[in-house]
Structure 1
Amino acid sequence: MLNSPLWAATAGIALVGLSLPGAEAISNGVARLPVLGYNTWNAYQCNIDEDLLLTTAKLIKSLGLQDAGYSYVNIDDCYAEKNRSASGDIVEDKIRFKGGMKKLNQQIHALGFKTGIYSDSGWFTCAGYPGSFNNEARDAKTFSDWGFDYLKYDNCAIAYDSITRQGIVGRYQRMADALAQISATAKKTFVFSLCEWGWSQVWLWGAQLGHSWRTTGDIAPQWDSLAAIINFNSFITQATDFYGRNDLDMLQLGNGGLTFEEAKSHFTAWALMKSPLLIGTNLSAITPDILGILKNKEILDINQDSVVGKSISPFRWGINPDWTSNSTHPAQYWSGPTRDGTVFMLLNTLKEPSTLSFNLTESPWIRAGRQYSVRDLWAHTDNGTAVRTFTAENVPPHGVIALLLKDAGNEPDGLFPACSVWWQCTDKNGTHVGG
């Protein structure tokens, strides 16, 4: 984690104007926008089989989640036999996937979904199944032949340096090259998700190889885990744009450990930071409240904005001085442009209700001298017009306010002081005219 305001400030600035070799090469027609879908790991870990996957796909459809945009059904670790075949191929578990991955993919595709699979850049996956090191081209072909559309690529069981002669970028490059070759020969394009955990500053190089990159360790269904992930990612928001984005890990809604307000904050932060949104919940036990969060169309529309690909970013930290890293109390005031206006996220990081207030022009996306209509993206209500300031009272503990502000014309005449930021206000004759 970040440990000081100086390091944090450096991290926040480092990506501005960054141009990396090959950064545009991954713009290959898939995952221009964040992927929405489902992943088996959080809810089931290794307890998966073909019946569970097919049942889950049908539930995503029947619950209306497919209509809301969740279009991927992804298998995580533990789907394979422990040993490769005599010819060296990964083999699906003969008992749990007795019908074969190809048939399972055909069934799930027939329901209108795309599908994802998992592997690892080391000898073994994190659960001890065959990894793809030294078999990248072979495994890419297997995944293509099986019919998958997405590959999550993990970082466990790494071979000795004397064998790889590569750093982390080189190890991931091997699979990126294999997928590119599949695209060229089999005309099969994969979404490539780097599950690298962020320890090698993956946000600096991930766009060269993949469509998303994990920036932290695994998420847990606890507020402290969410706060730490939000805090870390608050300093690297510049890395996210079309075709490549920071991945904050899977959605932990409905797995216990979070209050309803915390679940709303979780979903809001992930969606507005343009993270992939992969549900990790047992859908057979999902509650209407959690389903309502996952299907919030106004929040999802911003995650899937076809005009603006950038994440929201903090414009003020709030409890802490700006650019301070605090894993339990991350930045509270965030904003970003959208195709329809400026979106704001106000996050109460305290364990008690709090009032959150800001000057509109603290956000770089707001024009001075204008007034703005206010849309509450959770209450789904139009809340009048904001002039210069906005205040949200009694925000619940660990709760969130999400707003869309749209320009509504010039602010009323005769306001005092003459400038919303009064200490900067100067008459044309040079006279200071502050409040």
Structure 2
Amino acid sequence: MIGASTLVLVSSLVVIPVARAIENGVARLPVLGYNTWNTYACNINESIILETASLMKSLGLQDAGYTHVNLDDCWAEKNRSAEGLLVPNQERFPSGFYNLTGQLHDMGFQAGIYGDSGWFTCAGYPGSFEHELTDATTYQDWGFDYLKFDNCAIPFDDIIREGTYGKYQRMADAIATLSQTSGKPPLIFSLCEWGWSQVWLWGQTVGNSWRVDGDIAANWASIASIINLASFITQGTNFYGRNDEDILEVGNGDLTYEENKSHFTAWALLKSPLLIGTDLSAASPGIIEILSNKEILAINQDPVVGTSISPFRWGLNADWTSNSSYPAQYWSGPSENGTVIMLLNTLDEPATMFFNLTESPWIRAGRQYAVRDLWTHTDNGTAVRNFTATDVPAHGVVALLLQDAGNEPAGLYPLCAVWYQCASENGTYVDGQ
């Protein structure tokens, strides 16, 4: 076991419900797009938004599926209008939002905006508490399609008189009411509640995605910690509702090339929304190539299977062990076209990673599987009973698609890939029991 702080979280008696997300007609699949916060923070304006959209088109990101451009905090004036309405910052957005969203729509994008469920946003701009329907209407009138809703400046208990669920339900109800009265699709509703693993239990009845942790940082420790937390709540993701591992930091900070690949792969295969937080004007071709990996994106956008991959073995630690530095290493899940495998080397040095195919619940015993590498984009022969990845780089990843290729070759010994309790019908055990 790695690390003295590890803690076994789940016993065999725990029954965890599967997500039943709100099917409100929008965001059946994870949102792909851009979010301004990680690169620009409060230094946003209409020129930056339109330049970012243009770069997404010219760099091929729109063609790869990234169709949202989302503003984060700091877009508003510090005070509402005399009528109680939100007002765009006149210096940063002199043309107004209706003009901005119109241009984005003309470019083939959807537009997103940011709000807060409390008195103020995290940067001190007007929040939506007790203004939910007014603000939802304003966002729709401005032409926005998506709302990220934060959790700062929470009203005192004797004012709010409800839990966090109820605080977010207020805006969910406003969005539903507005859709009914306007006849327009509801806003995509992204909860930014920093859920500490609990929000998925109720977020699925309120929104289309829900944050599972605090803000991501552009370093491996942050990414590993989020993957660790997400490994215990993968059942929270399905069509229309999903765990949100936060904005993509691909290409930011001190992340290595291999760490960038692992970060993107984990987010995509966990079916998180993929919102780029990179300065696209400075992004290298290698970073754009990572973000544009169409075989990985196809798993994220699978039209048949909406569920996330999940660990089938933790690896360095005992199964169901929480370790924020060394999360689960062996993951799998179903897809439209086969079984998805993710091998994550959490060590600080290269490693060989081995598993028996039937460790994954999505693999059938006695069958062989064609191996597709989703990063090299090559067909790598056939796996029989097991698979070994050699020299996986430090903090690196292997992403595979295994497709059933028929019965395994005859005459293989032992008669079972996994000997435990392997028996003939006359009671003879292969392992000599």
Q: What residue number does 1:98 align with?
A: 94
Structure 1 length-normalised TM: 0.96
Corresponding letter in the other structure for 1:174: R
1:7 counterpart (3, 6, 9)? 9
Q: Secondary structure at the match of 1:52?
A: helix
Query: Could you tell which deviates more after superposition, 266-275 or 252-261?
Result: 252-261
Q: For residues 145-172 of structure 1, give each alpha carbon's deviation from its aligned partner in whole angstroms, at most 9, with x where no partner exists.
A: 1000000000000010100101000000
CA drift at 1:254: 1.4
**Residue from 138, 141, 144 that aligns with 1:142:** 138
Contact 2:31/2:274 (8 A) holds in 1: yes
SS in 1 for 2:379: strand
Q: Give the equivalent residue in structure 2 for 1:258.
A: 255
Q: CA deviation at 1:257?
A: 1.4
**1:158-197 equivalent positions in 2, closer than 5 A:** 158-188=154-184, 189-197=186-194
Shift of 1:200: 7.2
Per the TM alignment, residue 8 of structure 1 is displaced from its structure 2 partner at its CA by: 4.0
Q: Which runs of 5+ in 2 are unaligned?
A: none
Q: Say whether 1:409 aligns with 2:410.
A: no
* Cα distance, 1:14 vs structure 2: 4.2
Which secondary structure state, in structure 1, belongs to the residue aligned with residue 372 of structure 2? Answer: strand
Match of 2:422 among 417, 422, 425: 425
* C-alpha deviation, 1:4, in angstroms: 5.9
Q: What are the within-5 Å matches in structure 2 for residues 321-400 of structure 1?
A: 321-400=318-397
**Cα gap change, 1:17 to 1:251, in 2 (>3 Å):** closer
Cα separation, partners in 2 of 1:137 and 1:123, compared to 1, 3 Å: same
Contact 1:9 1:235 in 2 (8 A): no
CA displacement at 1:204 relative to structure 2: 0.3
Deviation of 1:187 (Å): 2.1
SS in 1 for 2:420: helix
User: Structure 1 pair 13/269, CA: closer, same or farther in 2 (3 Å)?
Assistant: farther
Q: Distance in 2 between matches of 1:423 and 1:112?
A: 56
For 2:128 and 2:388, locate their aligned partners in 1 and report how far apart those are by CA, in whole Å: 52
The question of 1:33 aligning with 2:33 is answered no
State the distance in 2 between where 1:258 and 1:14 align.
Answer: 37
**Cα distance in 1 for residues equivalent to 2:259 and 2:205:** 34
Q: Identity, % of aligned pairs?
A: 67
**Counterpart residue number, 1:57:** 53
SS state at 1:423 partner: coil
Give me the whole-angstrom Cα distance separating, in 1, the residues matched to 2:10 and 2:254: 29
Aligned partners of 2:129 and 2:145: how far apart in 1? 20
Deviation string for 1:299-357 (max 9, x for gaps)? Answer: 00000000000000000000001000000000000000001000000000001000000
One-letter amino acid of the counterpart of residue 195, structure 1:
C
For 2:286, which of 286, 289, 295 is the aligned residue? 289
1:136/1:237 CA distance change after superposition, 3 Å: same
Q: C-alpha displacement at 1:40, in angstroms?
A: 0.2
CA shift in 2, pair 1:17/1:262, >3 Å: closer
Residues 197, 212 of structure 2: 8 Å contact kept: no
Report the 3-state secondary structure (helix = DSSP H, G, I; strand = E; otherwise coil) of the residue aligned with 2:232.
coil
Structure 2 contact 368–385 (Cα < 8 Å) conserved: yes
- Answer whether contact 2:8 2:322 (CA < 8 A) is retained: no
Q: Report matched runs for 1:62-77 at 5 Å.
A: 62-77=58-73
- In the other structure, the counterpart of 1:151 is 147
- What's 1:81 paired with? 77
SS in 2 for 1:231: helix
CA shift at 1:17, angstroms?
Answer: 4.7
CA contact (8 A) 1:168 1:200 kept: no
- Report the residue type matching 2:17 in the other structure: V
Report the CA distance between 1:363 and its aligned residue. Answer: 0.2
206, 220, 224: which one pairs with 2:221? Answer: 224
Unaligned runs of 5+ in 1: none
- The 2-side partners of 1:200 and 1:231 are apart by 11
Instruction: State the partner residue of 1:307.
Output: 304
**How many angstroms apart in 1 are the aligned matches of 2:318 and 2:133?**
49
Q: Does 1:236 align with 2:238?
A: no
Q: What secondary structure is seen at the aligned counterpart in 1 of 2:312?
A: strand
Residues of 1 paired with 2:414 and 2:431: CA distance? 6
User: In structure 2, do the counterparts of structure 1 residues 31 and 224 end up closer, same or farther at CA, with 3 Å as the change threshold?
Assistant: same
Letter in 2 for 1:16: P
Q: 1:9 to 1:37 in 2, by over 3 A?
A: farther
Letter in 2 for 1:361: T
CA distance in 2, matches of 1:235, 1:116: 29
RMSD, aligned CA: 1.3
CA distance in 1 between partners of 2:187 and 2:10 (Å): 34
TM-score, structure 2 normalization: 0.97
Partner amino acid, structure 1, of 2:23: S
Q: Deviations over 1:8-28 (max 9, x none)?
A: 458x9543357xxxx45x212
Return closer, same or farther for 1:58/1:14 CA change in 2, 3 Å cut-off.
farther
Provide the rounded CA distance (Å) in 2 between the counterparts of 1:295 and 1:80. 32
- The separation in 1 between residues aligned to 2:262 and 2:6, in whole angstroms, is 25
Distance 2:197 2:170 in 1: 17
Contact kept? 1:154, 1:196, Cα under 8 Å? yes
One-letter amino acid of the counterpart of residue 325, structure 2: T
CA distances 1:113-165 after superposition (whole Å, capped 9, x unpaired): 00000000100000000000010011001101100000000000001010010
Q: Is the 8 A contact 1:417 1:434 kept in 2?
A: no
